[in-house]
């Protein structure tokens, strides 16, 4: 019998800190002086797609053991943690998964989060990343609940290739309909993320650019990353963002645009003829660790400080053992203040010994992109 590899969600959860209380100041910095500004919350580890770079069917088959509902953070627990993170300086919350729209009654959570404000009274930037499969039926209720905007993952405009990549026989037309409904509902600007894998879907770069040019959607091309251990990542399959930009510019002249903020992950390019913009996210060839302000909260309440981390910090244990807000908030502060993660900058260098070669990192399906 062949041995089936099950990706490890969390190799060795780090015990949460229980030291002296720290009063939130709204500015929390790590060992590299990076502030905490963004929180990504995974609301489910389940997905109805089986994309080969994220949840390959060979691993996530019908026998795969997903988390039981009792292990997931409740909406009340998520809201409580989000409020504590906001007190420490978080200004943007992104809901992710798995596929977040599979979480029942997600609108109720969005309503709770939409009521949170920063210490100086500003509303949060509340966003969601989705594969788009349920977006057409959900977009209006998401907007009504208080969601600001959405990002849709779409790796091909060709229907045959898209069905092959999502490995769920889901039609590209249904995702495109979801994008249109999201626009109509006001979840804008809609961002469309395409993971580019050389030899698999790089021929779709121009068709994708052509389709979304002038639509108001911001198309972003993401370098294929070595997240987790289940996707068989190979550097030879990475297409550098510079090559993507060159390929598009040969047909549609581009001009560089200024970033919206210093922590922005995407380099922005505008069409010279005014047809909108594209973005490229180059976490392999042009690491942006030095300005990373993101923390990630897993479906079962573990705090991760990097997309490429191997271990999380168990906040759910604190929530469920009766710890006060002051204790949990202090644990978050202590964890972030000790942060030194910068995997993408170290990838391939001698300094990468921080990350053991055989270390099994957290899966993207578990922690979100």
What are the pLDDT digits (tens) for 288-314?
Answer: 788 899 999 999 999 999 887 778 999
Both tokens of 81, joined, read: 């943690």
Answer yes or no: is 18 within a domain. Answer: no
Alpha carbon distance 236, 111 (integer Å): 44
- Give the pLDDT of residue 31: 95
The candidate with the shortest Cα–Cα distance to 240, out of 204, 211, 197, is 197
Highest mean predicted confidence (pLDDT) among 54-63, 293-302, 352-361: 293-302
Answer yes or no: is 230 within a domain. Answer: no
CB 300 within 8 A of CB 71: yes
Answer yes or no: is 307 within a domain. Answer: yes
> Would the pLDDT of 10 be above 60?
no
62: CB partners within 8 A, 6+ apart: none
> Would the pLDDT of 13 be above 90?
no
Q: Going edge to edge, which strands form the sheet with 92-96?
A: 254-257, 266-271, 277-281, 218-223, 191-196, 149-153, 125-130, 92-96, 38-42, 294-297, 302-304, 313-314
* Among the ranges given (172-181, 200-209, 256-265, 277-286), the one the predictor scored with the smallest mean pLDDT: 256-265
Answer yes or no: is 15 within a domain. Answer: no
Answer yes or no: is 278 within a domain. Answer: no
The candidate with the shortest Cα–Cα distance to 95, out of 172, 28, 38, is 38
Look at the chain and report how many structural domains it folds into.
1
Domain encompassing residue 357:
38-185+290-367
Alpha carbon distance 324, 266 (integer Å): 38
CB 315 within 8 A of CB 297: yes
Helix (H) or strand (E) segment spanning residue 95: strand 92-96
Alpha carbon distance 330, 303 (integer Å): 14
Answer yes or no: is 251 within a domain. Answer: no
Answer yes or no: is 346 within a domain. Answer: yes
Percent share of the chain, pLDDT over 90: 71
CATH number for the domain harbouring residue 65:
3.20.20.70
Alpha carbon distance 266, 192 (integer Å): 12
pTM attached to this predicted model: 0.89
Answer yes or no: is 203 within a domain. Answer: no
């Amino acid at each position: 019998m062949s041995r089936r590899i099950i990706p490890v969600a969390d190799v060795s959860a780090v015990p949460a800190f229980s030291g002296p209380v720290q009063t939130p100041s709204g500015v929390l910095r790590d060992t590299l002086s990076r502030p905490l500004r963004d929180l990504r919350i995974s609301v489910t580890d389940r997905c109805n797609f089986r994309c080969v770079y994220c949840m390959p069917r060979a691993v996530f088959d019908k026998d795969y053991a997903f988390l039981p509902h009792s292990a997931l953070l409740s909406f009340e627990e998520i809201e409580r943690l989000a409020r504590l993170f906001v007190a420490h300086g978080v200004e943007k919350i992104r809901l992710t998964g798995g596929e977040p729209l599979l979480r029942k009654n997600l609108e109720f959570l969005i309503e709770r989060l939409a009521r949170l404000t920063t210490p100086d009274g500003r509303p949060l930037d509340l966003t969601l990343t989705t594969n788009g499969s349920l977006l057409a039926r959900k977009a209006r209720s998401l907007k009504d609940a208080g969601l600001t905007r959405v990002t849709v993952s779409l790796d091909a405009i060709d229907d045959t290739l898209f069905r092959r990549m999502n490995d769920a026989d889901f039609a590209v037309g249904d995702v495109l309909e979801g994008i249109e409904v999201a626009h109509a509902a006001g979840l804008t600007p809609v961002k469309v993320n395409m993971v580019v894998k050389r030899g698999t879907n790089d021929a779709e770069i121009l068709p994708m650019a052509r389709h979304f040019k002038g639509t108001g959607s911001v198309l972003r091309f993401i370098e294929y990353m070595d997240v987790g251990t289940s996707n068989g990542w190979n550097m030879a399959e990475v297409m550098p963002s510079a090559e993507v930009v060159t390929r598009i510019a040969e047909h549609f002249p581009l001009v560089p645009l200024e970033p919206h903020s210093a922590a922005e992950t995407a380099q922005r390019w505008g069409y010279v003829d005014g047809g909108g913009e594209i973005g490229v996210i180059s976490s392999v060839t042009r690491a942006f660790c030095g300005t990373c302000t993101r923390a990630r909260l897993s479906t079962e309440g573990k705090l991760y400080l990097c997309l490429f981390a191997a271990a999380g910090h168990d906040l759910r244990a604190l929530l469920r053992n009766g710890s006060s807000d002051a204790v949990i908030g202090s644990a978050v502060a202590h964890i972030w203040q000790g942060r030194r993660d910068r995997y993408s900058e170290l990838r391939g260098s001698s300094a990468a010994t921080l990350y053991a070669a055989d270390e099994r990192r957290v899966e993207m399906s578990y922690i979100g992109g």
